[in-house]
Structure 1
Amino acid sequence: MAADPNWAVLPSVTLVEIFSYLSHDDKLRASSVCKRWRSCLFHPNLWQKIYFQLHSSKRMKTKFLADRCGHFVREITIKFCSHNITDVRECGRILEIMKINKNLQQFCLQPSSCHMEWPDNNTVYLFDRYLDSVEGIIRNSRDLRHFSLGCLEELLEHSSTFLSLLGRHSRSLRCLHLASVKEDSEGYRIVELDPKLFHPFTTLQQLSIDYDHLTNQLLESFTFHNKTKLEKLIIHVHGVEADHERITNSSWHCIRSHCPNLQVTLNLIHSFDGVEALLDILQPSLPLTHFRQFFCTHLNTTAICYFATHYRTTLRSIHIIDGLMDGYPVPYTSAAEEDPFVMLAWRCSLLTDFTLIGYEIADEDVIAISRLRGMGLKKLDIPRVCITTVDEPEEDEMWGYPLQINFTAFSEQVSDGLSWNWHPLDDQELPLAVFDADADAERAYMDILLEEQQPISAC
């Protein structure tokens, strides 16, 4: 009878191959078999992608992985609380490790806020270390494909420097995210960004950028100066300068002809100016796919009607969120006879996601939207507090009692139109900033914006 096999002497290549099929937890269990198996656990082929979470409960694990795998990992995402000084320091430490990693291909920051909380005693020193590490990552990596700074305003003020350095990756870089978030849309410094810096990038598929830097010349660089077929353009609108160059319909037509699969996302963030200038920003040939408006204090219904007319074959999602006024939704007026959102649902055949928070909408219009879009509408987020009724007043209301909506019957009607179970959002499902103007509004939109900057498998 043959002796029992000696699993400890299996060739390393065989062990690594076996480990590659195991889940993370199963790899850890297998590594406890013996010292040799544990040594195979940290083979570079098993740690090509690491998602670092700097939350206190995961900090020790993250520190260990960064020290052990940071010099060879190919894809990293760092999620951290940018208002927590300990997280900021640890993120900086990981960046210092990564700047000597020549194998890094995907680099993605996911902060909780667009601003960093720096320690008072050495702010300049720590920030300079951040800049040095990010520049080192760009210089030393051989084949960078995805680069995202997570909307961090302080770092993105140095976009021109980063973009110049990224030129060495012009034939490999596919995703570049330089869009920022500015909570004060009326008081920020606009950094110069030369459109010519984008000319060398021949493989770029995704780009996010602030509207401040969007010019006809920049769009032309993706039409005439390189062979890239841009597929996704994300534009963040904050303030809008009176002398900002208007993007012509001709420029949008040219880039759309050159990049037939181009999808454009327009994000207005704390942008009163953006809502006011929306009809100047929009052009018929702009392939608008996603429109989002976060805490802009008012609604441009004329622009919504424009969507229904010009983006019938491109628009896929609408996400509008604002704060309540003294606890009540804000009414909007429209020159059109029909509600603009009903017209949108009727005409935009690809619309799958619709969110409207902070604005008053009639119950019959919600029902109409559900029936017009049917099961094609996968997401319909409207708060209970924002839904009103236009029914004729009953006797109780004439005596001073407010007319109440029967939300059970109403939800059933909407569900019937959608062919899936639907209910309006309750107060506890809404971001705190909807009720409290002093609350942190970033919690309502940062995850949405950062989701767009996540590395994709194609990268």
Structure 2
Amino acid sequence: MALCGGVGALALPSELIVHIFSFLSDRDKLRASAVCSRWRECLFYPALWTDHKLRLVGTVNGGGSGPGETPKLEFLMRKFGSFVRELEVEFSPVEGFPSSMLGVESDGHDPQVPACLKDAMDCYLDQVLCVLRSLRNNRNLQRLSLYGAICILQGDGIFDSTHADQDHQAAKKIKEIQQLFEQVLANSRQLKWLACAFMLGMVTPRSLPALSSISAASLEHLSLLDGQSLPPLEGQTPPPLEEEEEDVEEEDLPSTGSQTPPLPLLRPEDLEKLPRLRSLVLDFCHFTAAMCQALSAEGRAPLLRLSLLLGGEAGLPEDPPGEDDWRALVRTSAELRVYLMALDSRSEDLLRVLKPSLPLERLHFDSYAACSAGALELVSLQYHKTLAQFSLVCDNGRFPDLSDNRNEDPLVLLAWRCTRLSLLVLHGYTVWAHNLIAISRLRGSSLKVLAVPEESIHIDPDQAQLMGEDPLHHLIKEVSLGLGRAWSPALDSTLLLHDPSQHFHREAQSFSMAV
């Protein structure tokens, strides 16, 4: 810039400096602010920072954003927290599972594992407090999205008897987080989008009733995921919380694996206060028949998107929506589309919730138990007009064959019947090459994503002998011809979901953004 370092830079009016900043990228804004103190004063003018996306990673093995980064977060939140309109924050205090993160087996015998995870938890709680303290008086907030990748911390039993005093301090911080979150909701005036996913202990049954009546009347998207119904990580059985002092209420502390059903974060009476709600994201355990009936009430805006996370049999509500409930909801919300992820569930669990009138558009079945051919048959018959995306993932390493002893492969039948299918992800199942070719030909160019890893593909040895070329090369050529574009087996697992809960959160967000 021509004025950099000169007297003219100091003499410019703040309005002109802000106008210059408005044409610059975020990185260039920071560079330009180094001109002089006057330019730095204008850097955080409210009109320049209306929306922010922050990702805060943890401290494992000395990496990440850790305690040393917390002062930077405090500086940023102090600058724009009171006026920012859209804020999206992802807290990832621990990335990956204990064995991969720490280089030790996650058997609980290494004394460094709890200490490292405890440090990550402390950092996470401090960062959440920092964000919420800055937001509590913000009346401009229109969109708030918070995601916490803390399932590993819950699964490792951070609140254990060996850290009783420190655990109590963490519990007190969680109590303050809950109160601050309620203050943020109570002081909001323009909130249209609220998403809170897997934030340890933040959301309680008292949270949503604290929402101001003005924001309740304008809220269009609501996402509340606590993950308490999800199965614990393999090999982890968290110990129960020890009783602490009187100022920490047990019902507000995060679940540690008890079989007691989690308290609903959203109740039918709460929905009655949200007349303009267009999209909703919930754990399936909180979505009861009464909730479905409340969404079907007359006088409210039609629901357009519904995303549900089913965590096995424990994730089923005592009174799930029946066929009549879904039919009534579709009658008042004709454009409704549903995204369902069944995580570590059985085919029986899936069959209990898949009612004919449920307008299913996206289905993701990710489990150690193989999906049955009968469940696939039901899906292809009931949702042939609505199903657009289907992901089938099995992590038991056995590669079950769904077409075994059947005249027609159920995946081929699904591709034939579901005419809107645009995404098909298959991982951990045996997929025969000739069936893969048939799927590509049936759906053609309308199948935008066909992701199958090479280890899942099996080639008939009799057919391989008749081919005059390499069988895999022949498969790639035929599938590419069927799809009308170049295709190859999936080489990595990024699309095949190493973190299903995070994938669900992000997919549900984009699914709701479509409206």
- Aligned counterparts of 1:124 and 1:247: Cα–Cα separation in 2: 35
Cα distance change on mapping 1:140 and 1:380 into 2, 3 Å = same
2:505 counterpart residue number: 450
1:401 counterpart residue number: none
| Residue type at the aligned position of 1:34 | C
Normalising by structure 2, report the TM-score: 0.76
* Aligned ranges 1:58-457 → 2 under 5 Å: 59=69, 61-83=72-94, 84-85=120-121, 86-114=123-151, 116=153, 120=163, 121=166, 122-152=169-199, 154-156=201-203, 158=204, 160-166=205-211, 168=213, 169-181=215-227, 182-184=229-231, 188-193=259-264, 194-240=267-313, 244-272=318-346, 275-325=347-397, 328-332=398-402, 337-392=407-462, 406-426=471-491, 429-430=492-493, 443-454=498-509
Cα distance change on mapping 1:342 and 1:258 into 2, 3 Å = same
After TM superposition, give the deviation of residue 262 of structure 1 in Å.
0.9
Q: Deviations over 1:264-317 (max 9, x none)?
A: 011111223xx2132221122111010012224220322211222221221111
Q: Deviations over 1:212-264 (max 9, x none)?
A: 22222211212215412211101111243688324222222222121122110
- Aligned counterparts of 1:333 and 1:116: Cα–Cα separation in 2: 39
- Aligned counterparts of 2:514 and 2:34: Cα–Cα separation in 1: 35
Confirm or deny: 8 A CA contact 2:464 2:471 kept in the other structure.
Answer: no
Identity, in percent, stands at 27
| Residue type at the aligned position of 2:308 | I
Confirm or deny: 8 A CA contact 2:437 2:479 kept in the other structure.
Answer: yes
After TM superposition, give the deviation of residue 53 of structure 1 in Å.
2.1
Unaligned runs of 5+ in 2: 1-5, 58-62, 95-119, 233-256
Q: Deviations over 1:391-417 (max 9, x none)?
A: 42778xxxxxxxx97322211211111
| Residue type at the aligned position of 1:430 | S
Structure 1 counterpart SS, 2:38: helix
After TM superposition, give the deviation of residue 362 of structure 1 in Å.
0.7
2:113 counterpart residue number: none
Q: Deviations over 1:324-358 (max 9, x none)?
A: 43xx4123357863111111111212111111111
After TM superposition, give the deviation of residue 179 of structure 1 in Å.
2.9
Confirm or deny: 8 A CA contact 2:311 2:342 kept in the other structure.
Answer: yes
Aligned residues: 433
- Aligned counterparts of 2:464 and 2:144: Cα–Cα separation in 1: 61
After TM superposition, give the deviation of residue 113 of structure 1 in Å.
3.4
Structure 2 counterpart SS, 1:321: strand
Unaligned runs of 5+ in 1: 396-403, 435-441
After TM superposition, give the deviation of residue 49 of structure 1 in Å.
1.0
Structure 2 counterpart SS, 1:171: helix
RMSD: 3.0
Confirm or deny: 8 A CA contact 1:54 1:62 kept in the other structure.
Answer: no
Cα distance change on mapping 1:295 and 1:33 into 2, 3 Å = same
Cα distance change on mapping 1:189 and 1:167 into 2, 3 Å = farther
- Aligned counterparts of 1:199 and 1:61: Cα–Cα separation in 2: 41
- Aligned counterparts of 1:11 and 1:125: Cα–Cα separation in 2: 47
- Aligned counterparts of 1:394 and 1:36: Cα–Cα separation in 2: 74
Confirm or deny: 8 A CA contact 1:114 1:180 kept in the other structure.
Answer: no
